[in-house]
C-alpha cells in the first residue's frame, strides 16, 4: 500500500522518527551522539524549525518539532541524514545506506497531545530498559524541559509555557506529569499515528486538518466498525 503524503503545515508541531536500516545501531560512541546532536541544532536554525523534545537512541531518534517554513522538516531531515551518513561511514569504515527509508511523521494536536508526545519521546530509554528514569539519560530533552539543564536544541512550545508562570514552576509541573506512565492505549495511538501518517489529535483537530489539506487525517472505518466502541476509542471519540 502506498504511503499517504506527508503533512506539510508550517506552524503545526510534528512527531518524527528516523530509524537505522533494519533497525541496526546508528550511534555507538559519544562522538556519534555529539555529531548528530550538533547537526540537528544547525539544521533546526537553518530550516526554521523549533525542537521541543528529542531523544537519541542507539538505533533511532525521535523529534517533536514545529516547522516555520515550507518543507522545513523534510529539509532538516535530509541535511542531518546526509551529513551523519558521511561522518558515520568515514569514522566506522563502512559503506552503503544507514537509514530505514524515509522518516515517519505525524501531525500533533498541540493543545491536547503535544506534552504527551514529549513525555513519550523522553521516556523511550526507560521503556527500552537503558535507564531506570528519564533523568538518567543524557541524550534527550528531559534535562532541558524538566530540570533546567542548558540545551540549545530545546525551544519550549507555548503549551509548555502554559504550565506555570515561572521557569521553576513550569519545570516542576512538567516533571510531575512526566512521572506518570502513559497507558497502553495512548502508547499504541502515538505509535500507530506516527507509523501510518495519521494526525494525532482530537476529532475537532483532525476535522480542521482535513478541511485545510483536503486529505484524510484518520483511517477510514472498516465496514460495520464505524459504530463500534473499539473504532470510536481509536479515533479519540471516547
What pLDDT, on the 0 to 100 scale, is given for residue 235? 52
Ranges in the chain, pLDDT < 50: 1, 224-228, 231
Residue with cell 541544532: 41
What pLDDT, on the 0 to 100 scale, is given for residue 108? 97
Q: Write down all domains in the chain, each with its CATH number in brackets.
A: 14-183 (3.30.70.1290)
What pLDDT, on the 0 to 100 scale, is given for residue 131? 98
What pLDDT, on the 0 to 100 scale, is given for residue 92? 83
What pLDDT, on the 0 to 100 scale, is given for residue 1? 44
User: Could you give the residue ranges of the DSSP H alpha helices within the chain?
Assistant: 30-46, 72-91, 110-122, 124-127, 142-146, 158-161, 167-178, 184-196, 203-213, 229-234
pTM of the predicted model as reported, rounded to 2 decimal places: 0.89
Cell (9 digits) for 235: 479515533
Amino acid at each position: 500500500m502506498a504511503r499517504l503524503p506527508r503533512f506539510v503545515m508550517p506552524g503545526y508541531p510534528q512527531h518524527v522518527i528516523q530509524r537505522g536500516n533494519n533497525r541496526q545501531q546508528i550511534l555507538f560512541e559519544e562522538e556519534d551522539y555529539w555529531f548528530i546532536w550538533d547537526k540537528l541544532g544547525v539544521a533546526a536554525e537553518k530550516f526554521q524549525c523549533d525542537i521541543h523534545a528529542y531523544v537519541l537512541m542507539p538505533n533511532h531518534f525521535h523529534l517533536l518539532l514545529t516547522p516555520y517554513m515550507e518543507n522545513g522538516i523534510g529539509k532538516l531531515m535530509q541535511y542531518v541524514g546526509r551529513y551523519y551518513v558521511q561522518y558515520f561511514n568515514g569514522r566506522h569504515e563502512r559503506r552503503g545506506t544507514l537509514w530505514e527509508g524515509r522518516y515517519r511523521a505525524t501531525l500533533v494536536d498541540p493543545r491536547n497531545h503535544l506534552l504527551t508526545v514529549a513525555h513519550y519521546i523522553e521516556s523511550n530509554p526507560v521503556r527500552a530498559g537503558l535507564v531506570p528514569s528519564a533523568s538518567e539519560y543524557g541524550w534527550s530533552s528531559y534535562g532541558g524541559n524538566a530540570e533546567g539543564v542548558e540545551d540549545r536544541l530545546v525551544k519550549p512550545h507555548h503549551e509548555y509555557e502554559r504550565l506555570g508562570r515561572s521557569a521553576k514552576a513550569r519545570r516542576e509541573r512538567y516533571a510531575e506529569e512526566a512521572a506518570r506512565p502513559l497507558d497502553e492505549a495512548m502508547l499504541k495511538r502515538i505509535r500507530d499515528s506516527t507509523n501510518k501518517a495519521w494526525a494525532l489529535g482530537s476529532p475537532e483537530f483532525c476535522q480542521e486538518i482535513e478541511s485545510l489539506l483536503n486529505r484524510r487525517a484518520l483511517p477510514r472505518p472498516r465496514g460495520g466498525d464505524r459504530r463500534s466502541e473499539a473504532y470510536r476509542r481509536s479515533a479519540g471519540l471516547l
